[in-house]
Structure 1
């Protein structure tokens, strides 16, 4: 089975699973900016549980989340919790980082972290979609598409007309999803481990 067949089979299975067992399409998905600092623990648990290692890209390696392209740091939960608390402490009206939350009947269905570009001399105002995670039970049910559409509208309201993201090299399902939402590759990031040997 090639990658495309595998992707299609997995996607159809997840969609069927979501529609038949977990997700009632008549339920409303609410997407809003999260401003409740008390949510930081629940968001940390959600991220740690649902972000597989294929998710790791260069910002996780350049920051404090991952040790290698295939391994999260052992203290990921503690590190991420502090990061999310700091983000939620900012006033969303002027914050340079924001957390969006998708909920169904009050339960977390997805989360997104967005960084607002704050360079004064930038030619085109931009933001970066740093993280987008949808609960596995709801993947294939359209929540990711709703999330992207909502984020685009929120960015446009702020005068932002360019949205970047990065994705781990092996995260092929995510690549196909984002390309279907209109994202396109603009660069390639490479890394080399250095040693004295």
Structure 2
């Protein structure tokens, strides 16, 4: 396997990131049925994500090999509500983690998670959060193997 390098995404990387978001949307649509499958949805989400990350001292980190982007991670520094203990209130968040389907199972997700952990520690924080769809069992296994444990459960009901 070629070596994988991590770097912060730049504006000219937008199309590569949108392509991976689109692939994830299609994958998750098959799992949960509520994701848009059109490319425009991925482009709209990219714009939303960039706005959110800019407000939260965040960035997109790319995993790249030989000029090909094989993984993307959104990362931000966040703050919980006032009722959370001061030492744990501020935390890192993996907002998005996408590995190109042709590259899954090669440790790229774990490499991106290690970078999120490094960025969290670099900011002097002690806690890192990530969300996962219940239906995405493979991603949940990866996150648990990396040391994540369930913390909060968001429940949904169609009405």
User: TM-score by structure 1 length?
Assistant: 0.67
> 2:122 aligned with 1:153, yes or no?
no
| Cα offset, 1:175, TM superposition | 0.9
Q: Which moved more, 1:100-109 or 1:140-149?
A: 140-149
Q: Does the aligned pair in 2 maintain the 1:127–1:160 contact within 8 Å?
A: yes
Cα distance, 1:193–1:130 mapped onto 2, change above 3 Å: same
Q: Does the aligned pair in 2 maintain the 1:40–1:84 contact within 8 Å?
A: no
Quick one: distance in 2 between partners of 1:192 and 1:120?
25
Q: Secondary structure at the match of 1:117?
A: strand
Cα distance, 1:174–1:111 mapped onto 2, change above 3 Å: same
Q: Does the aligned pair in 2 maintain the 1:54–1:169 contact within 8 Å?
A: no
Which ranges of structure 1 fall in alignment gaps of 5 or more residues?
Answer: 1-23, 57-68
Cα distance, 1:158–1:136 mapped onto 2, change above 3 Å: same
User: TM-score by structure 2 length?
Assistant: 0.82
Quick one: distance in 1 between partners of 2:154 and 2:52?
26
Answer with 1 or 2: which has the greater Rg.
Answer: 1
Cα distance, 1:168–1:55 mapped onto 2, change above 3 Å: farther
Q: Does the aligned pair in 1 maintain the 2:61–2:74 contact within 8 Å?
A: yes
How many pairs does the alignment contain? 152
Instruction: Determine the structure 1 residue equivalent to 2:106.
Output: 141
Quick one: distance in 2 between partners of 1:116 and 1:174?
22
Quick one: distance in 2 between partners of 1:157 and 1:184?
22
Which ranges of structure 2 fall in alignment gaps of 5 or more residues?
Answer: none
| Cα offset, 1:95, TM superposition | 4.7
Cα distance, 1:84–1:192 mapped onto 2, change above 3 Å: closer
How well do the aligned residues superpose, as a CA RMSD in angstroms?
2.5
What per-residue deviation string (whole Å, max 9, x for no partner) do you get for residues 87-141 of structure 1?
68x4xxx853321111001210100012311469552121221111111222111
The one of the two structures with greater contact order (alpha-carbon pairs below 8 A, sep at least 6) is 1
